[in-house]
Amino acid sequence: MNRLTVGRGVSVLAVAAVIGAGVTACGSNSDSTSTSSGSADYGLVQPGTITAAITAGDYPFVSPDASGKPVGMLVDLNDTIAKRMGLKIVYKTTTVQAGLPAMTSGQYDMMSVGLVASAERKKSVAFTKPIFWGQNVVVVPGTSKAKTIADFAGKRVGSGANSTQADFAKKKMSSSDLVSEATDSAGVSQLLAGNLDAMVLGSTHVGQIIKQHPGKLKVSLTEPQDEPGAMAVNKKLTTFLAAYNKQLASLANDGTFLKLYQKYFPDLPYPKQMYTYWPSIQKQIEKQG
């Protein structure tokens, strides 16, 4: 989630095929909670439509189904919010490295990707209210004996370009030979080929990767990320962001958000770090027992 997760457990990931750019999902204006706000009020790239950048293989946040259509927690979430706001939504595939500056230049309204809302990123983009809290996971070959950061001194350690994992590696693994990989899947391929000694991944990705390569890869260590994850929004869209966050809060308070989380992260408890932002979800979980 350059991406996110919580606790010591890791969740399921599909290393996805590339999603065709421009796949569209449309909201309906017939929903009783839709607003009457005109798209001109929001200043979107395309009036009446949210243009949302996504990345290929960000399961379970966004990934392609068999037909190439984007599906996942953030698709369900944003389709619902768009509908409530009386807007359509279009998903376009890019990378985090290319997508953030493209959004700043006005090509996208938001990135429907779980990103850590770091201080550096906040200089150029705004963020929605938090949606997740993750961990950085150092994955190694199954035969590796490395268990601490010190064990990677002088070793080749990969991470996705411009990712939270890259920030973690620079901060915590500076004694390693750090390698920037275009994507997580590219880094995993290099790790399997013996060209890397380790790869730092967001923990949503790890479970399925290890499952896909039984006995070949394992987790060496994990560390929680410093900040919560959220979706990036063009800084100029202040009215849109306020309206979006209002709908996000409504979904958190009425139980919809927790249902989505438990649907897509069935193996992970809801992150307790998020209770600060969403106390209503804490109450919902307490009622579940």
* Per-domain residue ranges of the chain: 23-132+227-288, 135-224
The per-residue pLDDT for range 239-266, each reduced to its tens digit, is 999 999 999 999 999 999 999 999 998 8
Both tokens assigned to 20 = 């065709």
Mean per-residue pLDDT for 3-30? 39
Q: Which of 89, 76, 72, 108 is nearest to 27 (CA)?
A: 89
pTM (two decimals): 0.72
Lowest mean pLDDT among 19-23, 46-50, 58-62, 80-84: 19-23
Rounded CA-CA distance 211/108 in Å is 34
Q: Is residue 43 a contact partner of residue 126, using CB atoms and an 8 Å limit?
A: no
- How many other CB atoms are found less than 10 A from the CB of residue 119? 8
* Model pLDDT for residues 160-196, shown as the tens digit of each residue: 987 889 999 999 999 999 999 988 889 999 999 999 9
AA identity, residue 19: I
Which of the following CATH numbers is that of domain 135-224: 3.40.1260.10, 3.40.605.10, 3.90.550.10, 3.40.190.10? 3.40.190.10
Dihedral over Cα of 78, 84, 85, 87: its sign: positive
Share of the chain above pLDDT 90, in %: 64
Q: Do domains 23-132+227-288 and 135-224 have the same CATH topology?
A: yes
Please provide the CATH number assigned to the domain covering 23-132+227-288: 3.40.190.10
Mean pLDDT of the chain: 86
Confidence of residue 203 (pLDDT cuts 50, 70, 90): confident
What would the pLDDT profile of 73-126 be if each residue is shown by its tens digit? 999 999 999 999 999 999 999 988 899 999 999 999 999 998 888 888 999 999
Secondary structure (3-state) at 255:
coil
**How far is the C-alpha of 222 from the C-alpha of 139, rounded, in Å?**
9
Residue 16: band (very low, low, confident or very high) from pLDDT cuts 50, 70, 90: very low
